[in-house]
A and B are shown apart, each in its own frame.
Chain A
Amino acid sequence: MEKNTLSAENRRKSILSAVLGVICIIYVLPVVAVVINSFKVNTFVKTNTFDLPRGEMWAGFTNFIKGMTFGNYPFWKSAMYSALITVLSTALILLFTSMAAWYIARVNSKFCKLVYYLCVFSMVVPFQMVMFTLSKTADKLHLNTPWTIPIVYLGFGAGLAIFMFVGFVKSIPIEIEEAASIDGCGPLRTYFSVVFPMLRPTMISVGILEIMWVWNDYLLPVLVLDINEYRTIPIHIQYLKGSYGTVDLGATMALILMSIIPVIIFYLACQKYIIKGVAAGAVKG
């Protein structure tokens, strides 16, 4: 009897594994396509999309060189602006939202609740709904440069970040902060010496989410920034399109691959902290 249920359990597990495996392949396939096509000669990208770049299809690194030198806007400049915007935005989001979340979680007032629900609400408002008024406003407030656009990102990123930080702060026993206040800390000191270090696991999780979002974002910079002067990598890739609508797919794939490499490296480097963060929440200690 028990044996039967066990084997049934096993069968169910193997079916589940197969289904999940297929779903996994579907997810990974586009990425694989990008990788193999970036080494393929342009004309074969459309005809032999899922073939490996063998023989005459093999283009070597020509796609990469073409992508980086195409047009009159240097690729390194786009990469630099992308990096600048990503780093600044993420830093701003992490610092301000973690502080705000600490306040919201610890001060039990109507105002805090209101702010919290507004932040949560902002997560469900689609960007497309506000993008027109936003780009106008950003122009007026001179938020249309790579140095100031992080403020716009701060506004958009705050919802999710505050939501995650508030959840985590609530799980930190308040006694630790009370101990700090008895030991001689003011609020600022308590935040930077005690709360900030404890938030590290969530900082990294939120940081990764924000970095991936800002780095890959296309719509906001294209609407807000002066395209002739400042381009980010996604905008740069878009400009690989020729004047008659012809697209160098090989070069596009090559640039996409290059743009996702930093994010992947960052993710792999921080992976152990993410797992640590999850475990830290689960085990009391």
Chain B
Amino acid sequence: MAEVSLRHIKKIYPNTEKKKKKDEPAHRTTHLKVTAEGIVAVDDFNLEIKDREFIVLVGPSGCGKSTTLRMVAGLEEISGGELLIDGKLMNDVAPKDRDIAMVFQSYALYPHMTVRENMAFPLKLKKVPQAEIDKKVNEAAEILGITEYLERKPKALSGGQRQRVAIGRAIVREPKVLLMDEPLSNLDAKLRNQMRAEIIKLRQRINTTFLYVTHDQTEAMTLGDRIVIMKDGEVQQIGTPQEVFDHPSNLFVSGFIGVPQMNYFDAKLVKTDGKYAVELDGKTIELSPEKQERLAANNVEAQDITLGVRPEHIALFGEGSQMFHGKVDVSEMMGSSVHLHLQSLGQDVIVIVPTMDLQGIHHDGISIGQEIAFTFGGNVVHVFAKDGKNLEF
């Protein structure tokens, strides 16, 4: 239970020192800023976390999300800025005195201790009376459903059970902030879904502030009260899952959130009589009043733009002058929906069609090579400037 403030947090790895981090080796492939001081892994990170809030840091590997988390934990030195937990400056406080707990991707259980000893270890170090330790460990074990494994060693447990123990070890301490570094990444897909639901449940049972790192956008969307999307050490957008999905601040965010990725078209933004519209392939789509207002407020001029449309916002079939035409290239049956890859406007366009709709319209399903018409409304398009910025912001 605590408020956490990260103010202008910065992490710079001096050039002389090689960055040694297994989980983020993408260093060379990303475009981190390099200054005279060294490589900037995290640049000017600002975030005010409210008490009991669940914050998810998400981004591709090498974006600095783990580094940020490790700076909050005290495992990584903070090169600049201020970290406050409950109003107290924590920059130079040792990890053990920050009153935080952390769950690691690799579980990091003590292999020579039983599950009970693992979970009791932080309490023992705090010199909590034995009776209370037992009580807390048993409680946590019950919440996590690992009571029957308490006397086992970690190596006798499965991955999911080990991660539960790791979470147990973190929650017995009742930390102010619970840090989680990709806790589900080592689990298989089914178990990951299950554990994700359990983390949501766990969150309702314990009163603590969560800071959660993941590269998986599904985890970010489902778990977070607010999501922080990072790239190359810089925060791209902070907002609720709905906000970042509906109003991505730039091309990167729009592409990172949402599966499959948003479709992009080279289009033109036109302004006639104070009304904004987009021109694509000779067709004009007028923007919704809400978008008109935002663009007008920003005094946006007519210009070449990148038009973004999510696959689920494209409607198939119909007649009229506003229809685009394409040929079905690939059809992926996903169960509840079908992902169609269309060849249209000289590029690949992905459309998600709910299976039910498809059956209603086309009893025979869709065949490869078939000509199909599609359209989208002015309320679902995203207007990005050529430099990637969302013009509505």
Binding site for B on A (CB under 8 A): 108, 173, 175-176, 178-186, 189, 193-194, 197-198, 200, 285
B residues near A173, Cβ cutoff 8 Å: 106, 108
User: Is the C-beta of B169 less than 8 angstroms from some C-beta in chain A?
Assistant: yes
Known: A173-B106, A197-B112, A285-B155. A178 touches B75 (CB 8 A): yes
User: Is the C-beta of B33 less than 8 angstroms from some C-beta in chain A?
Assistant: no
Q: Give the docked Cα–Cα distance between A200 and B108 (Å).
A: 18
Q: Give the docked Cα–Cα distance between A184 and B123 (Å).
A: 9
Inter-subunit contact A176/B110 (CB<8 Å): yes
Nearest-CB residue, chain A, relative to B156: A285
Inter-subunit contact A182/B111 (CB<8 Å): no
By Cβ-Cβ distance, the 8 closest A-B pairs, closest first, are A184-B125, A175-B108, A183-B122, A197-B112, A179-B108, A184-B96, A285-B155, A175-B104
Known: A108-B20, A175-B106. A182 touches B100 (CB 8 A): yes
Nearest-CB residue, chain B, relative to A172: B111
Known: A182-B100, A184-B96. A194 touches B110 (CB 8 A): yes
Nearest-CB residue, chain A, relative to B175: A182
Q: Give the docked Cα–Cα distance between A189 and B122 (Å).
A: 12
B residues near A175, Cβ cutoff 8 Å: 104-106, 108
Inter-subunit contact B110/A182 (CB<8 Å): no
19 more A-B residue pairs beyond the given contacts A175-B108, A200-B112, with a C-beta to C-beta distance below 8 A? A108-B20, A173-B106, A176-B108, A176-B110, A178-B95, A178-B108, A179-B102, A179-B104, A179-B108, A179-B110, A182-B74, A182-B95, A184-B122, A184-B125, A184-B126, A186-B96, A197-B110, A197-B112, A198-B111
Inter-subunit contact B106/A183 (CB<8 Å): no
Inter-subunit contact A183/B111 (CB<8 Å): no
Taking the nearest CB of chain B, how far is it from the CB of A113, in angstroms? 13
Nearest-CB residue, chain B, relative to A177: B108
Inter-subunit contact B96/A181 (CB<8 Å): yes
Q: Give the docked Cα–Cα distance between A173 and B21 (Å).
A: 12
Taking the nearest CB of chain B, how far is it from the CB of A203, in angstroms? 12
Inter-subunit contact B95/A181 (CB<8 Å): yes
Q: Give the docked Cα–Cα distance between A285 and B111 (Å).
A: 8
Q: Give the docked Cα–Cα distance between A182 and B94 (Å).
A: 8
A residues near B125, Cβ cutoff 8 Å: 183-185, 189
B residues near A193, Cβ cutoff 8 Å: 121
Partner of B73, one of A180, A182, A184: A182
Partner of A182, one of B101, B105, B106, B109: B101
A residues near B17, Cβ cutoff 8 Å: 108
Residues 17-33 of chain B: 1 if any A CB is under 8 Å from the residue's CB, otherwise 0? 10010000000000000
Inter-subunit contact A183/B100 (CB<8 Å): no
A residues near B74, Cβ cutoff 8 Å: 181-182
Taking the nearest CB of chain B, how far is it from the CB of A195, in angstroms? 10
Nearest-CB residue, chain A, relative to B173: A183
Tell me which of A181, A182, A185 has the highest count of chain B C-beta atoms within 10 A of its own C-beta: A182
Tell me which of A173, A178, A189, A198 has the highest count of chain B C-beta atoms within 10 A of its own C-beta: A178
Taking the nearest CB of chain B, how far is it from the CB of A198, in angstroms? 6
Q: Give the docked Cα–Cα distance between A182 and B155 (Å).
A: 22
Nearest-CB residue, chain B, relative to A109: B17
Nearest-CB residue, chain A, relative to B125: A184
Q: Give the docked Cα–Cα distance between A193 and B126 (Å).
A: 14
Nearest-CB residue, chain B, relative to A183: B122
Q: Give the docked Cα–Cα distance between A10 and B72 (Å).
A: 61
Q: Give the docked Cα–Cα distance between A108 and B106 (Å).
A: 22
Q: Give the docked Cα–Cα distance between A193 and B104 (Å).
A: 19
Those of B277-334 within 8 Å (CB) of chain A = none
Q: Give the docked Cα–Cα distance between A134 and B76 (Å).
A: 45
Q: Give the docked Cα–Cα distance between A173 and B100 (Å).
A: 21
Sample of 13 A–B contacts (CB below 8 Å): A175-B106, A176-B110, A178-B104, A179-B104, A181-B74, A182-B95, A182-B96, A183-B96, A183-B169, A184-B126, A198-B110, A285-B111, A285-B154
A residues near B169, Cβ cutoff 8 Å: 179, 183
Q: Give the docked Cα–Cα distance between A193 and B106 (Å).
A: 20
Residues 253-294 of chain B: 1 if any A CB is under 8 Å from the residue's CB, otherwise 0? 000000000000000000000000000000000000000000
A residues near B110, Cβ cutoff 8 Å: 176, 179-180, 194, 197-198
Tell me which of A173, A176, A179 has the highest count of chain B C-beta atoms within 10 A of its own C-beta: A179
A residues near B154, Cβ cutoff 8 Å: 285
Q: Give the docked Cα–Cα distance between A194 and B155 (Å).
A: 16
Q: Give the docked Cα–Cα distance between A120 and B296 (Å).
A: 72
Nearest-CB residue, chain A, relative to B17: A108
Q: Give the docked Cα–Cα distance between A280 and B258 (Å).
A: 42
Known: A175-B108, A176-B108. A182 touches B20 (CB 8 A): no
Known: A108-B20, A178-B104. A183 touches B112 (CB 8 A): no
B residues near A183, Cβ cutoff 8 Å: 96, 101, 121-122, 125, 169, 173
A residues near B75, Cβ cutoff 8 Å: 178, 181-182
Nearest-CB residue, chain B, relative to A200: B112
Q: Give the docked Cα–Cα distance between A82 and B94 (Å).
A: 46
Q: Give the docked Cα–Cα distance between A11 and B173 (Å).
A: 64
